[in-house]
Structure 1
Amino acid sequence: MKTVKNNRLTRSQQAVLAALRDQPDLVEMEALARHLGRHPNTLRDHLTALLDAGLVVRHQAPVDGRGRPRWLYAAAAEPVVDENAELAAALAWRLAHRERNPLAAARDVSRHWAQQIIARRGLLRLRTARAGRAQVVEVLDDLGYAPVPDDRFDRVALTRCPLLQVASDVPEVVCNVHLGLVEELLDASGADPHRASLKPFADPGSCALRLLAPTAEVRTAVDPSR
């Protein structure tokens, strides 16, 4: 993992951000101004810019008397870029543009990926199919898909895609990798792998995954146009 750098900050803003990151606790603007040797009005402008950029957060201190509310500042958690996701995106691009049969290649990739996950996590076949589906949803959550399942663990809204940009460019490849992964995980968990279906971008902000889809909905490949 590597830290995302913000190259648009001025030197003064970078100094303010660095000072906040060095503090173990929330800091008042006046204390930070004294620490940095800056005028509070100048510092206020820098803090506003950092707040707008999402690099700093602020919390209101408990009110003491009738005075104006006091704000306490801290550096926001640093965003990170998942280098594995970048590699996966590059692989998906190659599958889409260099393979003669990209969908078959996508399924091969998904099977290999799933077997690694199954071995690493020690997934077991569970006693009931529902428990198996729940186990698959748990794995998807750990992988960053932010799944929202129904009570039966049948309809699952995937509210985050780790490969969103490349999924928008070549959904037939990326979504077939995801569907193949789900099928392999279902099989390893004791649930029916032949009942899974995936509809990319079915709703604003999510894809629709079915783990108990009717036969008519199940396809051997994801077709974004249908």
Structure 2
Amino acid sequence: MSSLATHDQPGAPDGPATPQTLMRALEALSPAQHTLLREVARYTEPVTVTELAVGMGLHPNSVRESMAALLDAGLVARGRRPAVGRGRPSWTYRSVAPAQPSALAREFADVCAAVADHLADTVPDPEAAARDIGSRWARRMVDVAGPPAGKNGQPLDEPQRIDVHGGRLRLLLSSLGYGALSEETPGRLTLHQCPLRIEGQVPSPLVCQMHRGLIDEVLQRVSHGNVEAELTPFAGPDHCTVALHLTKRDAATA
């Protein structure tokens, strides 16, 4: 992965700018396009078609064809890597990332902090109430219900199912400002940003419960109850982690 600077250009102007359009674009991807999108998401810096082709063991033309579809859908951004010597600058690609937090995001974080304070002071079970808020947030924000991920409604094997739903969750969380990145282990995500955190302050544990409710509801809808997640707030000094796993019901039949 090169550290050379790039200048990003957005994908299609009518590409996914909201969680709703993002999820619709994801549902329309072919298996090859989805695989490529997950591979691009593994890179913390923009990557070229050649680098992707080498890493995936594919012909560059195959990667280029799938990348064009991702760019048209607005799921990746394209930029130029400065040329070395007399060669032409290379196109580079990265998965979509949220814009920098704005004043509106700060106001949203303030409101969530106030809600957390209210729950702590007035509700018998504030953690359950906070999770319910996150769940309701997910239901109001995006309709992610769809057919099971398996072919003809049949369940997928564990690694593929975890990988597919982990990729969907990562893109949705990134679109909301969580700075989500995939880890090497399928279904493990690292969240490097928090749209509900006020800069310089440690968020209330109830805000983390709102996150948990959001994630649980999204996974319930996209996996039809087959996949659950464990959210670990502040797993490191500057990040949280999410680990996906099969439900006990599904694991018993796997």
Q: How far does residue 126 in structure 1 lie from its aligned partner after superposition?
A: 4.9
Which residue of 196, 205, 218 corresponds with 1:185?
Answer: 218
Look up the equivalent residue of 2:139 and give its one-letter code: Q
Partner of 1:28: none
Task: Name the CA shift for 1:78/1:213 in 2 (closer, same or farther; >3 Å).
Answer: closer
SS of alignment partner, residue 195 of structure 1: strand
**1:15-164 maps to which residues of 2 (within 5 A)?**
80-81=102-103, 82=105, 83-119=107-143, 122-128=144-150, 129=161, 130-151=163-184, 153-164=186-197
**1:196-211 maps to which residues of 2 (within 5 A)?**
196-211=229-244
Look up the equivalent residue of 2:239 and give its one-letter code: S
Look up the equivalent residue of 2:195 and give its one-letter code: P
Question: Does residue 170 of structure 1 match 2:204?
Answer: yes
Task: Name the CA shift for 1:90/1:153 in 2 (closer, same or farther; >3 Å).
Answer: farther
Look up the equivalent residue of 2:140 and give its one-letter code: Q
Give the Cα separation in 2 of the matches to 1:158 and 1:78: 15
Give the Cα separation in 2 of the matches to 1:109 and 1:146: 22
Q: How far does residue 186 in structure 1 lie from its aligned partner after superposition?
A: 0.7
Give the Cα separation in 1 of the matches to 2:120 and 2:232: 19
Question: What is the percentage of aligned positions where both structures have the same residue?
Answer: 31
Give the Cα separation in 2 of the matches to 1:193 and 1:109: 22
Q: Which moved more, 1:101-110 or 1:204-213?
A: 204-213
Structure 1 contact 183–194 (Cα < 8 Å) conserved: no
Give the Cα separation in 2 of the matches to 1:126 and 1:78: 34
RMSD of aligned Cα (Å): 2.9
Aligned length: 136
SS of alignment partner, residue 135 of structure 1: helix
Which structure has the bigger radius of gyration?
Answer: 1
CA displacement 1:71-126 (0-9 Å, x = unmatched): xxxxxx9973123332222212212222221011112111211101223xx55345
Look up the equivalent residue of 1:181 and give its one-letter code: L
CA displacement 1:128-157 (0-9 Å, x = unmatched): 533233111111001100011125541111
SS of alignment partner, residue 212 of structure 1: strand
SS of alignment partner, residue 196 of structure 1: strand
Question: Does residue 195 of structure 1 match 2:228?
Answer: yes
SS of alignment partner, residue 168 of structure 1: coil
CA displacement 1:12-53 (0-9 Å, x = unmatched): xxxxxxxxxxxxxxxxxxxxxxxxxxxxxxxxxxxxxxxxxx
Give the Cα separation in 1 of the matches to 2:186 and 2:227: 15
RCO greater where, 1 or 2, for CA within 8 Å and sep 6 or more?
2
SS of alignment partner, residue 189 of structure 2: strand
Structure 1 contact 96–170 (Cα < 8 Å) conserved: no
Give the Cα separation in 1 of the matches to 2:240 and 2:147: 26
Partner of 1:66: none
Give the Cα separation in 1 of the matches to 2:100 and 2:141: 28
Look up the equivalent residue of 2:216 and give its one-letter code: E
